[in-house]
């Protein structure tokens, strides 16, 4: 049971990592935003998205190693990367508004 949860965590973390990295790019950010603005993100927000996306991919690697060990865990991680990248690609193609929650989490914090 714990092994299955770790594999699901590895896939979810890969998906989140690729979604964060994709949303740092101007066309994807504009497709997901409700206002359809093509202005893009500030540099600090892009850096934060790339950093958190990379951390999510590293977390996916750690979860797959914990689930299956170093021999099959590495193969599992590569398979998770491929399937998560395809999942993000299809989400951005057909239902980009599904990633609005990720985009809101990435948005810069404005003081009140």
18 touches 84 (CB < 8 A): yes
46 touches 24 (CB < 8 A): yes
Cα–Cα nearest to 56, from 88, 34, 28? 88
On whether residue 112 sits in a domain, the answer given is no
On whether residue 23 sits in a domain, the answer given is yes
Query: What is the number of structural domains in the chain?
Result: 1
Q: Using the 8-state DSSP alphabet, how is residue 24 labeled?
A: T
**When comparing pLDDT for 16 and 103, which is higher?**
16
| pLDDT recorded at residue 111 | 55
pLDDT at 110 over 60: no
Cα–Cα nearest to 21, from 60, 48, 58, 59? 48
The radius of gyration of the chain's CA atoms, rounded to the nearest angstrom, is 15
On whether residue 99 sits in a domain, the answer given is yes
The tens digit of pLDDT for each residue in 53-103 reads 999 999 999 999 999 999 999 999 999 999 999 999 999 999 998 998 888
On whether residue 111 sits in a domain, the answer given is no
On whether residue 16 sits in a domain, the answer given is yes
On whether residue 15 sits in a domain, the answer given is yes
């Amino acid at each position: 049971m714990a092994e299955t949860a770790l594999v699901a965590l590895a896939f979810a973390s890969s998906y989140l990592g690729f979604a964060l990295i994709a949303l740092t790019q101007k066309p994807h950010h504009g497709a997901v935003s409700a206002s359809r603005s093509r202005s893009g993100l500030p540099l600090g927000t892009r850096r934060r998205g790339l950093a958190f996306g990379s951390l999510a991919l590293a977390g996916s690697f750690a979860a797959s190693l914990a689930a299956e060990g170093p021999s099959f865990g590495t193969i599992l991680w590569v398979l998770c990367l491929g399937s998560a990248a395809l999942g993000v690609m299809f989400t951005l193609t057909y239902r980009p508004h599904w990633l609005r929650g990720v985009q809101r989490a990435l948005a810069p914090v404005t003081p009140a």
